[in-house]
Amino acid sequence: MHRVFWFKVGGKRMHLLKLAGAFFVLASVLKVAEAAYDIFVVVNKANMAGMRPELISSLFGWGIGAPYNFSGEDVLGVLLGPVASFLFWLGIALVALMVYQSGKLVFPVEEYEQKMSAHHRKLIETAIRKIKKKR
């Protein structure tokens, strides 16, 4: 069996799972946009650090020494956090969209009971066939 949760607001019935899903979709899409913006900011900072190494400490908050060139490994290192954040929020947005699109909430207990009742139904049918054969 499936259950649908309804929420009554102002005389109108709303699907509670869709309402929660809509909020989660909105919030996660905003966080995806923020994470994408962070990627662009870090890329711009890395480009600036490559052109002017004396700004590394003010751009990233860490200093290695005066004669230091910003390398490709450094760019990869500073991009790991924003890219990971972007992928995390993208995954959350996907899960939120699945929650929003789900029409019904399935309780595993009820599914288990359905499987058990089908199993019991087969056992009963087998027993009835055996009784009919004996007659």
> Average pLDDT in the 8-19 region?
67
Q: What is the pLDDT of residue 122?
A: 82
- 93 and 26 Cβ atoms separated by less than 8 Å: no
Q: What is the pLDDT of residue 110?
A: 46
Q: What is the rounded end-to-end Cα distance, in angstroms, of the chain?
A: 38
Average of per-residue pLDDT values in the chain:
80
Q: Which amino acid is at 7?
A: F
Distance, in Å, from the CA atom of 58 to the CA atom of 132, rounded to the nearest integer, reads 89
pLDDT tens, residue by residue, 30-84: 999 999 999 999 999 999 988 888 888 888 877 666 567 778 888 898 999 999 9
pLDDT band at 108; cut points 50, 70, 90: low
Q: What is the pLDDT of residue 4?
A: 59
